[in-house]
């Protein structure tokens, strides 16, 4: 039986109607709205609780040192027009296909596309917070914080990445201002002195962003980035064509690893990893649950640092900071962070040993990356839907459980015909759905299904 919650709000101050209502106006939600408009999606309502729609956290970064991790030539918003972003850049003298342009530039690109859709009446952006999503007949009703209700034919959750949670050993309340729970919500450099030390929890892309922020702010003290393995994202190499796989790909993680290593010996590791990009979602979908779990347990950290790379100029700056002794990457397990008069004392156990390191820091920044386990989320809408049985976490706790058509699966295991999800929150089903090239394909496909364009183009036959 499909999820059928009680209608707890029988009377609303006003009611709006939409063919498709999108919850979340970040990159995924905005791009879905734009594609629905392009395919004649009827009345499309984009609901965003923040001050800006179209950018999300990733592309709201205003600092010029925060660059895209993908060359401009592969950042078009549209699969059917791969040169769209490059032409947009050229018209403004803002870059070329081979450039890693600032994320703020890409955010301006998406925001402009959304404004165009609004101006032509294809999309309406509503500033409000969705507090409930209720199946109602063939459609859904969305309850808003300001008292309105939206009656929609379909609803799509485009919630982006969830904020990180506090790692074991961290007590945010006790640490107070010495701890920044989310590097995008606070200023890591504010109030720091020249001789201060900063600890970054995590060594991935988020930590690199924090390093760039601290460096650009003029902080000349010591930065230590700590993670269990101490792995750091690799740098992009020169652009080039990637040979496709001629052989059948194995389904077992160990066999696939051996094949990639052998390919890396002859073609380089970048080509070996990139050759999996076109088939990574199919590999994930076809892998048994035990193989997925094995990959996540043993290989994921290695995959992440080879797959999600740094712009060469960012990698060069990181290397320079390391050479100057201002930046260190450490591998170990955090034990505790005790509040001190001016910061905190941090202790961690060094990887592959029992040695304990202690460091006095002025600030700790949580750079562990987005939360995946929905059961640990404090988001009010997610909590309400989980408690009501409308949604559930995927089997590997990577995000929200959805089927191959991106329909949300309820607690009883049924796909809900009127409720969908897109973006990073669906990585449990699709794995590679965090970068622009993957998300643009996902929202493009969903927009065509929701507007029946796939039948018109013969793909539904």
Does residue 1 belong to any structural domain of this protein?
A: no
pLDDT at res. 461: 39
pLDDT at res. 442: 97
Does pLDDT of 11 surpass 60? Answer: no
- Work out the number of other CB atoms within 10 angstroms of the CB of residue 294: 16
pLDDT band at 5 (very low <50, low <70, confident <90, very high): very low
pLDDT at res. 243: 65
Q: Based on the fold, state whether residues 336 and 221 are members of the same structural domain.
A: yes
pLDDT at res. 62: 66
Per-residue pLDDT of 221-276, as tens digits, reads 999 999 999 999 999 998 766 666 656 788 788 888 888 898 889 889 898 898 88
- What does the block give as tokens for 25? 């106006």
The CATH code of the domain that includes 387 is 3.50.50.60
Q: Based on the fold, state whether residues 282 and 342 are members of the same structural domain.
A: no
DSSP-H helix ranges across 295-372: 300-307, 312-323
pLDDT at res. 12: 44
Q: Based on the fold, state whether residues 149 and 24 are members of the same structural domain.
A: yes
Q: Based on the fold, state whether residues 48 and 135 are members of the same structural domain.
A: yes
Does residue 238 belong to any structural domain of this protein?
A: no
Q: Based on the fold, state whether residues 50 and 130 are members of the same structural domain.
A: yes
Q: Based on the fold, state whether residues 375 and 347 are members of the same structural domain.
A: no
Q: Based on the fold, state whether residues 36 and 152 are members of the same structural domain.
A: yes
Q: Based on the fold, state whether residues 314 and 301 are members of the same structural domain.
A: no
Query: Taking all residues of the chain, what is their mean pLDDT, rounded to a whole number?
Result: 89
394 burial type by CB count under 10 A (0-12 exposed, 13-18 middle, 19+ buried): buried
Domains of the chain: total: 3
Q: Based on the fold, state whether residues 293 and 322 are members of the same structural domain.
A: no
Does residue 239 belong to any structural domain of this protein?
A: no
Q: Based on the fold, state whether residues 349 and 451 are members of the same structural domain.
A: no
Residue 226 to residue 232: CA distance in whole angstroms:
10
Final residue in a domain of this structure, among 337, 366, 395: 366
pLDDT at res. 245: 65
Q: Based on the fold, state whether residues 355 and 397 are members of the same structural domain.
A: no
Does residue 53 belong to any structural domain of this protein?
A: yes
pLDDT band at 400 (very low <50, low <70, confident <90, very high): very high
Q: Based on the fold, state whether residues 296 and 355 are members of the same structural domain.
A: no
Per-residue pLDDT of 64-98, as tens digits, reads 888 999 999 999 999 999 999 999 999 999 999 99
Give the H or E element holding residue 251: none
Strand partners, 358: 347
Does residue 4 belong to any structural domain of this protein?
A: no
Does residue 21 belong to any structural domain of this protein?
A: yes
| Lowest pLDDT segment from 150-164, 193-207, 253-267, 394-408 | 253-267
pLDDT at res. 250: 80
Distance of CA 323 to the CA centre of its chain: 31
Residue 395 to residue 397: CA distance in whole angstroms:
6
Q: Which of 320, 318, 131 has its CA nearest to residue 141? A: 131
Final residue in a domain of this structure, among 288, 307, 326: 307
Final residue in a domain of this structure, among 265, 280, 307: 307
Does residue 407 belong to any structural domain of this protein?
A: yes
> Which range of residues forms the domain containing residue 287?
253-307
Compute the average pLDDT of residues 163-170: 91
Does residue 8 belong to any structural domain of this protein?
A: no
pLDDT band at 454 (very low <50, low <70, confident <90, very high): low
pLDDT band at 457 (very low <50, low <70, confident <90, very high): low
């Amino acid at each position: 039986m499909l999820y059928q919650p009680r209608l707890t709000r029988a009377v609303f101050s006003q009611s709006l109607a939409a063919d498709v209502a999108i919850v979340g106006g970040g990159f995924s939600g905005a791009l879905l709205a734009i594609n629905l408009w392009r395919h004649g999606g009827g009345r499309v309502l984009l609901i965003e609780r923040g001050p800006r729609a179209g950018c999300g956290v990733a592309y709201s970064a205003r600092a010029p040192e925060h660059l895209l991790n993908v060359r401009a030539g592969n950042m078009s918003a549209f699969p059917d027009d791969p040169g769209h972003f490059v032409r947009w850049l050229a018209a403004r003298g803002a870059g070329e296909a081979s450039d890693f342009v600032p994320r703020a530039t890409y955010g301006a690109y998406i925001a402009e596309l959304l404004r165009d859709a609004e101006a032509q009446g294809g999309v309406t952006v509503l500033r409000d917070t969705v507090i409930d999503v209720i199946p109602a007949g063939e459609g859904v009703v969305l309850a808003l914080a300001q008292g309105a209700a939206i009656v929609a034919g379909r609803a799509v959750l485009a919630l982006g990445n969830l904020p990180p949670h506090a790692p074991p050993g961290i007590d945010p309340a006790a640490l107070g201002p010495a701890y920044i729970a989310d590097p995008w919500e606070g200023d890591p450099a504010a109030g720091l002195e020249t001789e201060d030390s900063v600890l970054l929890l995590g060594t991935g892309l988020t930590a690199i962003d924090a390093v760039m922020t601290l460096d650009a702010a003029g902080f000349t003290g010591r930065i230590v980035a700590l993670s269990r393995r101490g792995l750091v994202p690799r740098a992009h190499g020169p652009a080039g064509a990637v040979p496709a796989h001629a052989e059948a790909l194995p389904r077992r993680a160990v066999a696939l690893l051996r094949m990639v290593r052998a390919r890396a010996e002859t073609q380089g590791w970048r080509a070996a990893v990139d050759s999996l990009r076109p088939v990574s979602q199919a590999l994930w979908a076809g892998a048994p649950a035990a193989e997925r779990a094995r990959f996540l347990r043993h290989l994921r950290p290695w995959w992440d640092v080879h797959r999600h790379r740094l712009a060469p100029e960012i990698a060069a700056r990181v290397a320079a900071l390391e050479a100057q002794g201002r930046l260190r990457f450490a591998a170990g397990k955090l034990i505790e962070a005790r509040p001190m008069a001016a910061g905190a004392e941090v202790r961690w156990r060094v990887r592959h040993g029992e040695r304990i390191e202690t460091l006095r820091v002025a600030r700790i920044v949580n750079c562990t990356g987005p939360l995946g386990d929905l059961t640990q989320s404090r988001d009010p809408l997610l909590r309400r839907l989980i408690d009501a049985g409308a949604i559930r976490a995927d089997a590997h706790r990577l995000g929200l459980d959805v089927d191959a058509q991106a329909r949300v699966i309820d607690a009883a295991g049924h796909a809900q015909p009127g409720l969908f999800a897109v973006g990073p929150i669906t990585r449990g089903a699709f794995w590679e759905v965090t970068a622009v090239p993957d998300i643009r394909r996902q929202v493009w496909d969903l927009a065509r299904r929701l507007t029946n364009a796939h039948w018109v183009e013969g793909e539904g036959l």
